[in-house]
Structure 1
Amino acid sequence: MLRREDAVTRPASRHTAPLHTARVAWRHSLRFRLALVYTLVALALVSMIGLGVMTLLLRSMDQQFQTRLDERADTLAEAFLTGGQGLGKSPGGTGTYTMIIDEDGQVQAATPSLRQYDKAPFPFGGQAVVELNGSPARTATRKLGDFGTLWVALPEDALLDARQSATRALLLALLVTPALMLLVGWWVGKRALADLEGAADLADRIDPTRSVATLPLPGREDEVHRLLAALNRLLVRIEAVQAREKQLLGQIVHELGAPLTVLKASLSRAAERTGDPEVTRAALVTDELTFTTQDLMQLARGQLEMKVAWHFIPAATLRGRLDRLVPGTGFAGDWGGMLLCDPDRLTQALRNLLANARRAAGPEGTVTLTLTETPDHVTFRVQDSGPGLPPELGERIFEPFISGSGSSGLGLSVSRQIAVLHGGTLTGGNAPGGGAQFVLTLPGVALGDDEEEGVEEAETPVRVS
């Protein structure tokens, strides 16, 4: 049943689903790329600076260790030569290994921790670093005159611990810095590109069929401000060009309309008087041109400017119109019901579909228009015996000036606009048995006796033809 408010106040504006703002995948976003570049640059800088600092630090520590070793060796040599102090009580301090080697390479004296080498051949000849008690030790030697050679070893445990600590600190910095830099870069990029992201969201919502809106400019006159200002100037120029094109197109269509109307009427009367098939064919050509000018006028006005005059008409009336406009059309289905529509607009939409089907099928082919009605939908199915739609076009077949049958490419675009204006849809494809198939679906209607009174009392009653 047709609800009262549907029959009386069905809006004529286009019903479309709300536009969802397109979101860029994180891996493709400018913000992520900036954050990633910022992170990689920071990582490279931290790596170079950290390695440089660690190298200088370790070199300085190594020099300090060598200086300490040399000082201990000099102190021990001087203490032995001048004071005769024992090696175990030398002023070199604890943790220092010492041995005295004679001219024959025999160890004459050693610190208590090296007693196993006492009175034995010297085992570390020419070695700068030796292993003592499980730890590496760096060595130095000093001549003791006629007594032989003083050998001194200083463990490197502290130096190795410092190296390991510096290496761990650098590795930790290299692991933590990228994560922190990526988060900071992402946050900074979000703040810096907030105006650009907002402008992109607004641009997604701009309806090109209306007046082209400009984008808001950020308060800071930076590169984003310059970019948006340039886009605004471009939008203004586009709007001016569109206005001029629509005006020119409207003027051309207006100039063509009047002569075509006169020519159509003259040829129709001549065909009725003479019955000449050539004159009849010429009258059909004027019909084709008339509908083409109507499509061009619709393109010039824009689909949102279309107005719908709702009428409640018999489906048979619509069938009679289409039979006269596109001869040779086969009709199937139930045409005994009633339709709530704009008869002129719906006739234009279906006539465009049938004319395209006739061109595709050729003079010997078949074109069938099937009407099916349910409580919820009224469906018009146009099917032809032609070669079908080019698969590479897809949904582009409904764009203006895109044609798969050699026509102007406006008919399908206008037909879909009219379908949407009625609250319906228009889809196209290839039928399973071959040929093209277009399905125009409108909301179903059925007036009941209990609602007719409400329709008559409404402010804008539906006209019944």
Structure 2
Amino acid sequence: MTRHVALSTARVAWRHSLRFRLALVYSLVALAITTLSGLVVITLLLGSMDRQFDARLNERADVLADQFTNLSKGLGQRPPAITGFTVLVDAQNRVALSSNGLNLAPGEPFPQLNEYRLPVQGTRVRAVTRKAGGFGTLWVGLPEDDLIAARESAMRALLLSALITPALMLLLGWWVGRRALAGLGQAADLADRIDPTRSLATLPLPQREDEVHRLLAAINRLLVRIEAGQAREKQLLGQIVHELGAPLTVLKASLNRAAERTGDVEVGRAALVADELTFTTQDLMQLARGQLEMKMVWHYIPARTLLGRLDRLVPGTRFEGDWSGGILCDPDRLTQALRNLLANARRAAGPDGTVSLTLEDTPEQVRFVVQDSGPGLPPELGERIFEPFISGSGSSGLGLSVSRQIAVMHGGNLTGSNQGGGAQFVLSLPSATLGDDQDDDLEETESAEVSTPAAAHR
């Protein structure tokens, strides 16, 4: 029950959720596409701007060089004025003319003639050279400040988009994934609430026939097959137990009579084995029926009546505690649960070990403490020791599962641990008290309890 509640209330951590992973993948893909497309666009844009800048620079240099080369066009006129970053260098690589902003004196050497990118007065300049007829070589430069600013702006825009786009895509992907997978989450919640001991219910299908619809439809078909398989297994198990029950009952009675008549130890041991098999078939029958199909028959019985039953079923048990009170329970079921615990304890302790059953009666609950001197519970099994067919002592593995089931049906619980060198099981039931006007009917209640079919069978 606790495990079922934990499953039904569990929620997937955000970092493990499918929609987060989808949103993350969507964001990473968007980041890759945005970055790649941005780089391509910026590369093309900057390349175009760079070509336009070179075209403008070459055009300017060609115009100036043509004016110095074709002097016939301006015969009788002075050479054109030098403007901007322009230098006319003679054959000895000395400055003949320069623009005003360069502050170069005529006759001064000009070593930057063959440099095409250089800082001039704190400004990045790109330059070209042209032959200026008989005047020498013309050096023309244009500042790259606007081009550099455009390149930096484009890279900032790319970086900003690379930061903002994934965040927006992550939020958008999370929201879209939450809406798209809402049906799957609701189906998971409904599946957590399915009780396998009842008839398995199918999951509601979404209206849109998408992948979620297909998955849930497949799960529903699987649930139908599981339910059919469980029904067949229960039916087969019930038939097997029914076929074994009657012969075992006859065999046990015959062996008990033979043991009483002959006093043979081997016959008595065989009678105990038959008794063990009888209780195993009862455990199998309870497993086949399931907890919800079992009916509880409540009686208020003296604790000593329960002690007498258990003493006959599991001889060699040491009974401790106060057995003078009464217990509200289903006597047959409670006897079955305690008998399973004592039989397991005797099997673990061995013929020379000790097994004790202590009754602790408090106003809140009644506790049955079974202690043995055996090796204790295997630590690697933990709570799995209460699952069907899980055993650490060589038994069928049904006793503890059935005993806990019976305790839960009484409103109590069954726990196990290692105490004092051996295993200790505590079966707790809610305490119940009777008023004074009901004490006189206690003997009649006990008679009614003994006359139940299950008790007669035992």
Normalising by structure 1, what TM-score? 0.90
Task: Describe the superposition over 1:321-360 as per-residue Cα deviations: whole angstroms up to 9, x where unpaired.
Answer: 0000000000011111110111000000000000000011
How many Å apart are 1:391 and its aligned residue?
1.1
Partners of 1:297 and 1:126 in 2: CA distance? 103
Asked if structure 2 preserves the Cα contact closer than 8 Å seen for 1:79 and 1:85, the reply is no
Q: Is contact 1:87-1:111 (8 Å) kept? A: no
Cα gap change, 1:243 to 1:85, in 2 (>3 Å): farther
Matches within 5 A, 1:16-415: 18=5, 20-80=8-68, 81=71, 82-83=73-74, 88=81, 96-415=84-403
Higher mean Cα deviation, 219-228 or 298-307? 219-228
C-alpha distance in 2 between matches for 1:270 and 1:232:
56
Matched AA of 1:263: L
Superposition deviation, residue 232 in structure 1 = 1.1
Shift of the 76–16 alpha-carbon distance from structure 1 to 2, 3 Å rule, reads closer
Q: CA–CA distance in 1 between the matches of 2:270 and 2:237?
A: 25
**TM-superposed deviation, 1:283:** 2.4
Q: Is the 8 A contact 1:257 1:290 kept in 2?
A: yes
Structure 1 residue matching 2:53: 3-state secondary structure = helix
User: Shift in Å at residue 65 of structure 1?
Assistant: 0.5
Distance in 2, matches of 1:409 and 1:25, equals 36
Please give the alpha-carbon distance, in whole angstroms, between the structure 2 residues aligned to 1:277 and 1:171: 92
SS of 1:124's equivalent?
A: helix
Give me the whole-angstrom Cα distance separating, in 1, the residues matched to 2:164 and 2:434. Answer: 72
- Partner-residue secondary structure (3-state), 2:111: coil
1:415 is displaced (CA, Å) by 0.1
* TM superposition shift of 1:85: 6.5
Which whole-Å CA distance do the structure 1 matches of 2:78 and 2:195 have between them? Answer: 100
Letter in 1 for 2:383: E
Following superposition, the deviation at residue 18 of structure 1 comes to: 4.4
SS at match of 1:207: coil
| Alignment check: 8 A CA contact 2:348 2:372 kept | yes
What amino acid sits opposite 1:306 in the alignment? M
The answer (yes or no) to whether the contact 2:82–2:97 under 8 Å persists in 1 is no
Aligned-pair CA distance for 1:304: 1.5
In structure 2, relative to structure 1, the CA distance for the partners of 1:179 and 1:429 (3 Å cut) is same
Identity %: 72
**Gap change, CA 1:57 and 1:322, over 3 Å in 2:** same
Structure 1 270/225 Cα, relative in aligned 2: closer, same or farther at 3 Å? same
| 8 Å CA contact retained: 2:82, 2:98 | no
Displacement after TM superposition at 1:89 (Å): 6.8
Secondary structure in structure 2 of the residue aligned to 1:257: helix
When the two chains are superposed, the root-mean-square deviation of aligned CA atoms in Å is: 2.2
State the alpha-carbon separation in 1 of the partners of residues 3 and 175 from structure 2: 36
Task: Single out whichever of 116-125 and 343-352 deviates more from structure 2.
Answer: 116-125
Q: Which runs of 4+ in 1 moved over 6 A?
A: 14-17
- Aligned AA (1:281): R
Q: CA deviation at 1:265?
A: 2.5
Offset of residue 270 of structure 1: 3.2
Give a deviation string over 1:207-251, Cα, whole Å, max 9, x none: 111111111112122222211111111111111111001001101
Residue 400 to residue 373, structure 1, CA distance change in 2 (3 Å): same
What is the Cα deviation at residue 172 of structure 1? Answer: 0.5
2:424 is aligned with 1:437: yes
What one-letter code is carried by the residue in structure 2 that aligns with 1:201?
D
**Structure 1 residue 127: deviation in Å?**
0.2
Shift of 1:21: 2.9
Report the Cα distance in structure 2 between the residues aligned to 1:396 and 1:86, rounded to whole angstroms. Answer: 104
SS at match of 1:215: coil
Instruction: Report the Cα offset of residue 448 of structure 1.
Output: 3.3
**Shift in alpha-carbon separation, 1:117–1:155, aligned structure 2, 3 A:** farther
Separation in structure 1 between the aligned mates of residue 306 and residue 78 of structure 2, nearest angstrom? 128
For 2:426, the aligned partner's letter is V
Paired with 1:357 and 1:250, the residues of 2 have a C-alpha distance of 28
